[in-house]
Amino acid sequence: MAGTEYSRPAFYLYFNDLHGLMETLLDEVKGGIVEGARIWLTNEGDAIASLQESLKALVDVGYECGGILKSVSDAAPSDARLEHVWETFLGSFDEVVSARIAHDQAKGITPEFDPLSMAHALNRMGAGVLIQAFGTTQKADKDVVLETITRIWISTLYPFNLNKARGV
């Protein structure tokens, strides 16, 4: 609060404690991710093109909010309440990504594997990459991060269509 124009009591007018602030910040991050990923998560359009668009939005949000993600991720292991908030945040993406994977498996465009386990792995990998790339003052190149994440997601979910993903 010292770095703002507001008083400490003003903080407590909106938040009960630091956990409340972190939850609010994560909700805002989640909203940005969900909005950006909506096209892929709702099965609209071409699977690969919509995934690429969604991952670009994810990287944009990660670039802007990497410090928040890093702060919560770093603090979660030593604070049970914050750990629950962080796991709930990540878990909410597991459900929707798993549903999309199952949808694509039913269409025969994604290989057979456990959708929830794969969603969990892809989401944790993505979060880790975003935190490492954008969670410090020395941010990584957004295009390199996007290319890396996109290559992993597409080669995992749509290996039968790699030439299409490469524009061949």
Predicted pLDDT of residue 17:
62
Stated pTM of the model: 0.83
CB-CB contact of 136 with 69 (8 Å)? no
User: Per-residue pLDDT tens for 62-121?
Assistant: 999 999 899 889 988 988 988 988 899 899 999 999 999 999 999 999 999 999 999 999
What pLDDT sits at residue 139? 97
CB 72 within 8 A of CB 24: no
Residue 22 has pLDDT above 80, yes or no: no
Q: What is the predicted pLDDT for the residue at 168? A: 36
Of residues 26, 135, 32, the one with CA closest to residue 85: 26
Residue boundaries of the structural domains of the chain:
27-165
Name the DSSP class of 114.
Answer: -
pLDDT (tens digit per residue) in 131-158: 999 999 999 999 999 999 999 999 999 9
In the CATH scheme, what is the homologous superfamily, with its name and number, of domain 27-165?
A: Tetracycline Repressor, domain 2 (1.10.357.10)
